[in-house]
Chain A
Amino acid sequence: MAVTDSAINPPPLADIARLTTAIGRGLMQAGATTDVVHSSIIDAAKGLGCTEAEVYAQHAALIVTLRRGTESYTHMGKVGEHGTNLRIASSLRKLVEHIQDGTLDLAAAKKVLKDVPTTTKKYPVWVVALATGLACAGFGRLILSDWRVEWVVFIPTCLGTAVGQWLRHTMLHKHLNFYLMVTSVAFTSAFIAGLGSRLVHSTKWELATVAATLLLVPGTAMFNAQLDILHGKPSLAAARVVRIMFILLFLSLGLILAQRIITLIPLP
Chain B
Amino acid sequence: MSTDEIIRHIVHQAFFGGVSALGFAVLFNCTPRILWVGFISGMLALATRTFCQDIFHLGLPAASFFGSLLIASLNRWWWEDALSLRGPVLAIVGSIPMVPGSLAAKGLYAIFLMINNNQVPGSLPPVELALENLIIGATTLVAIGTALAIPAFFPDFPEKNEEEA
A interface residues, Cβ below 8 angstroms from B = 31-32, 36, 84-90, 93-94, 120-123, 127-128, 131-139, 141-143, 145-147, 165, 210-211, 213-215, 217, 219-220, 222-223, 225-227, 230-231, 248-249, 251-252, 255-256
Contacts and interface: CB of A to CB of B under 8 A. Distances in A.
A210 B100 CA distance: 12
Contacts of A122: 29
Contacts of B18: 138
A248 B104 contact: yes
A93 B86 contact: yes
Residue of A138, A217, A220, A226 ringed by the most chain B CB atoms within 10 A:
A138
Contacts of A143: 102
In which size bucket is the chain B interface? 35 or more
Nearest to B142: A226
B111 to A, nearest CB: 8
A4 to B, nearest CB: 29
14 contacts: A31-B28, A84-B27, A84-B29, A90-B87, A127-B26, A135-B23, A135-B24, A137-B19, A139-B16, A139-B20, A142-B20, A142-B46, A147-B12, A248-B104
Contact of A147 (B9, B29, B87): B9
Contacts of A217: 99, 101, 104-105
Contact of B108 (A121, A137, A252): A252
Contacts of A133: 23
Contacts of B16: 138-139, 141-142
Interface stretch (B88-96, B121-129, B157-165): B88-96
A219 B101 contact: yes
Interface string B97-114: 101011011101100100
Interface string B55-90: 000000000000000000000000000000111010
A131 B109 contact: no
Given A135-B27, A141-B12, A226-B149, 9 more contacts: A131-B24, A138-B20, A138-B97, A141-B19, A142-B17, A222-B99, A226-B148, A252-B112, A255-B105
A265 B20 CA distance: 31
A230 B147 CA distance: 11
A93 B88 CA distance: 13
Nearest to B8: A147
A84 B26 contact: no
A227 B151 CA distance: 12
A209 to B, nearest CB: 9
B22 interface: yes
Given A142-B97, A145-B9, A252 B105 contact: yes
**Most chain B beta-carbon neighbours within 10 Å: one of A147, A222, A249, A255:** A222
B141 interface: yes
B23 A219 contact: no
Most chain A CB atoms below 10 A, which of B17, B18, B101, B109: B101
A86 B16 CA distance: 22
A89 B102 CA distance: 28
Contacts of A230: 145-146, 149
B48 interface: no
Contacts of B24: 131-132, 135, 219
Contacts of B108: 248-249, 251-252
Nearest to A256: B112
A222 B16 CA distance: 22
A31 B102 CA distance: 22
B144 interface: yes
- Nearest first, the 9 A-B pairs at minimum CB distance are A135-B23, A226-B145, A217-B101, A131-B26, A138-B19, A252-B108, A138-B20, A147-B12, A141-B16
